[in-house]
Amino acid sequence: MSRPDGLRYPAGSVRGSAGGSPTLPVMAAMVPTRTLNSGYEIPVLGLGTYPMNGAAGTAAMAQAISLGYRLLDTAALYGNERAVGEAIRRSGIGRPELFVTTKLRGGDHGREKTRAAVSGSLDRLGLDYLDLYLIHWPLPRLGLYVESYETMLELAAEGLIRSVGVSNFKPAHIAALVEATGVTPALDQIELSPALPRRETVAYLNGAGVVTQAWTPLGPGRQVLGSAAVAAIADARGVTPAQVILRWEVQQGIVTIPKSADAERQRANLDIFGFTLDDAEMASLATLDQGEGAAVDSDVHEEF
């Protein structure tokens, strides 16, 4: 069912009360979703898993699932897909209830390497399909991201990927994909926070029917979390600074994936659906904008 904030809430769900202590079943049920252009639903809040790894990482991720997280975001580059898979198995939650994202690393661009990379990720995760597969960085110098995207669409047709998307893609990169294939990516995961609201990119993605997802959603360092603007809202609302920022994102329809291994922070980050920021508060957070120039430039940045 839809609500005034534009998000889709599970039927019968109850919105939590930030700062309170909802029961775990409510925590699991209250996270709304957005519909991807593939027709699948993605929770608007999930768990970023980098750099969680090993036994401690597995325990932290299984703990998050027990608290109600259903979206897990990883990447081949993170080196923790096996730990994510073990956390899923340890959680006891049925596969259909979970939404698992992983990403194509830079060294695996190209048709055959992309196909092998998807197989490798599925093996490490111990899964039969991926809910969402992203090209991690466009790497335009290589000139292979269109070829990788075409291969991902083939793998989606084979049932190994449910939704195909990108990460760190600029509008021009997405336009090249659409021109070559006629298929618009389901989602673009970009660096985004009140310090980097990426307004022009988000407007383009909204117009193209591409869901925006934020990485580093709480901002770099302490410059956003520790800002006076965020602190004032948090104090007035009786919530944490992180809850203010995450609410700012989901209130705009942006999917967000904060990372934390701490149970209390995980619980608090999940509990942001019981309040709405007003226009004055949104305007106050807009003053934190550092401009597009502060973002990592994916025309030149490379990770392999």
Q: Which residues are catalytic?
A: 78
Residue 131 parent element (H or E)? strand 130-135
**How many angstroms separate the CA atoms of 117 and 126, rounded?**
14
Alpha helices by DSSP H, listed for 126-278, are 145-157, 171-181, 199-208, 228-237, 241-250, 263-270
Mention every residue, 6+ apart, whose C-beta is less than 8 A from residue 215. 48, 167, 189, 190, 191, 192, 257
Alpha carbons within 13 angstroms on the beta-carbon side of residue 144 total 18
Q: How far is CA 239 from CA 142, 252, 303, in A?
A: 45, 19, 36
> Does residue 51 have a cis bond before it (omega within 30 degrees)?
yes
- Estimate the share of the chain in helix, then strand, then coil, as percent rounded to the nearest 5: 40, 15, 40
**How many angstroms separate the CA atoms of 172 and 177, rounded?**
9
Nearest CA among 189, 200, 190, 196 for reference residue 164: 189
Nearest CA among 270, 218, 266, 216 for reference residue 241: 218
